[in-house]
């Protein structure tokens, strides 16, 4: 059923559009193979056939052939015009989002993705959409240029400060899909990922009614996931190395020196405060203002989950 032979080269086909892009990719690929064999094949054959032995003698010296040259100019010209139109056509087919699209606002900043749903639900580093429904993302950036890349949907769009850009897709495959940032944006660029979950329509309904909250996963496992999806891992390691912030290894119960001279023991309230109001107590030796606030972005259950996760990091 799948006509696409180059599947190992491409990510999963997450939408009908992805299939159509892959078809074009495949067309150009095989066309390229034919030209490559033609060019390099004749080159290799000539090297083999006309290899020099002794002094060159009786070498025919012809300098051009008008008919041949016109042929090899016009045929490629026709071919590239075909590719151009095909590419333009498939590009345009996916530029204007249908009117009934689910509209999600996307805010990019160093180095995280935030999502806002029409009902006000906000999530960070992950978002859910229903299967088979068109989804339109309206994106803007708080700082530098980022780029929202959904490989499985074959979609990508730069996210700019002071301007909106949009992108839409209609997912057909349930499950998790990776989002990358593809416009270089500094130290955390390669950690600036997000996770798209495509749910069945029912599951999506349940998820959005819960305000985007995961109610089933055990707390410590949820915490481990949030550690990655909320990008704590950009600045906090779990193996003891110092990145931009203190490591989480052995954090629970640790006594911290706070800038200004006091000390504090890491407990539930301290973690909660650190996450909601990071500048209230700044750990000695680290810069104020690097750690972003998660106020309004982490729900109670999620903060609890992170706390439970920290307890496991001995």
In the complex, which residues of this chain contact ligand HEC (CB under 6 A)? Answer: 230-232, 234-236, 244-246, 251, 256, 266, 271, 274-275, 278, 282-283, 286-287, 290-292, 294, 306
How many chain residues are in contact with another protein, going by CB under 8 A?
84
Using CB under 8 A as the binding rule, whether residue 106 contacts another protein is answered as no
Least separation in angstroms between residue 194's CB and ligand HEC is 14
Which of residues 186 and 218 has its CB atom nearest to ligand HEC in the complex? 186
Which residue lies nearer to ligand HEC by CB, 153 or 282? 282
Instruction: Please report how close the Cβ of residue 306 comes to ligand HEC at its closest, in angstroms.
Output: 5
Instruction: Name the binder of 39 from Cu ion, another protein, ligand HEC, none, CB < 5-8 A by kind.
Output: another protein
What is the per-residue binding string for Cu ion in 92-131, x denoting contact by CB under 5 A? ----------------------------------------
Task: Work out the burial of residue 14: count CB atoms within 10 Å of its CB; fewer than 13 is exposed, 13-18 middle, 19 or more buried.
Answer: buried
Please give the radius of gyration of the chain, using alpha carbons only, rounded to the nearest integer. Answer: 27
CA separation for the pair 112, 181 (Å, rounded): 9
* Nearest distance in Å: CB 301, another protein: 27
CB of 312 to ligand HEC, least distance (A): 14
Q: Which is nearer to another protein, 10 or 271 (CB)?
A: 10
Which range, of 177-185, 271-279, 282-290, 293-301, touches another protein by CB under 8 A? 177-185
Vertex 120 angle, CA 199 and 206, to 5°: 30
E strand map for 65-111 = 102-109
Task: Please give the residues from 229 up to 268 whose contact with another protein meets the rule CB under 8 A.
Answer: 241, 243
Cis geometry, peptide bond prior to residue 111 (ω within 30 degrees of 0): yes
Question: What span, in angstroms and rounded, lies between the C-alpha atoms of 103 and 257?
Answer: 45
| Smallest separation (angstroms) from Cu ion to the CB of 160 | 11
CA dist., res. 127 & res. 187, Å (int): 24
Note whether 77 binds another protein by CB under 8 A.
yes
**How many residues are given for the chain?**
314
Strands 112-116 and 165-169: unpaired
Distance CA 294, CA 232 (A): 11
CB 189 within 8 A of CB 111: yes
Select 65 or 293, whichever has its Cβ closest to ligand HEC: 293
Interhelix angle 268-276/300-312, rounded to 10 degrees, is 120
Q: Which is nearer to Cu ion, 148 or 207 (CB)?
A: 148
């Amino acid at each position: 059923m799948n006509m696409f032979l180059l599947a190992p080269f491409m990510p999963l086909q997450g939408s009908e559009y992805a299939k159509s892009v892959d078809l074009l990719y495949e067309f150009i690929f095989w066309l390229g193979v034919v030209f490559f064999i033609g060019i390099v094949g004749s080159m290799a054959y000539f090297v083999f056939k006309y290899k020099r032995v002794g002094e060159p003698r009786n070498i025919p010296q012809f300098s051009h052939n008008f008919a041949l040259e016109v042929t090899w100019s016009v045929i490629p010209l026709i071919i590239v015009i075909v590719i151009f139109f095909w590419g333009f056509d498939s590009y345009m087919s996916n530029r204007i989002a249908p009117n009934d699209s689910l509209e999600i606002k996307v805010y990019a900043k160093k180095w995280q993705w935030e999502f806002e749903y029409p009902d006000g639900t906000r999530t960070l580093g992950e978002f859910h959409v229903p299967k088979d429904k068109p989804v339109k993302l309206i994106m803007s950036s708080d700082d530098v240029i980022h780029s929202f890349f959904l490989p499985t949907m074959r979609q990508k769009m730069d996210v700019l400060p002071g301007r909106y850009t949009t992108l839409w897709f209609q997912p057909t495959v349930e499950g998790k899909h990776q989002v990358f940032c593809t416009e270089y944006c500094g130290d955390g660029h390669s950690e600036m990922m997000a996770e798209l979950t495509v749910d069945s329509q029912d599951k999506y309904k349940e998820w959005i009614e819960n305000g985007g909250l995961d109610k089933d996963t055990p707390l410590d496992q949820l915490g481990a996931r949030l550690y990655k999806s909320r990008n704590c891992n950009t600045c906090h390691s779990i193996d003891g190395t110092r990145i931009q912030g203190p490591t989480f290894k052995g954090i629970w119960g640790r006594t911290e020196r706070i800038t200004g001279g006091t000390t504090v023991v890491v407990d539930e309230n301290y973690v909660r405060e650190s996450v909601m109001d990071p500048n209230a107590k700044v750990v000695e030796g680290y810069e104020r203002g690097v750690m972003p606030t998660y106020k309004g972005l982490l729900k109670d259950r999620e903060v609890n989950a992170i706390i439970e996760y920290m307890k496991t990091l001995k």
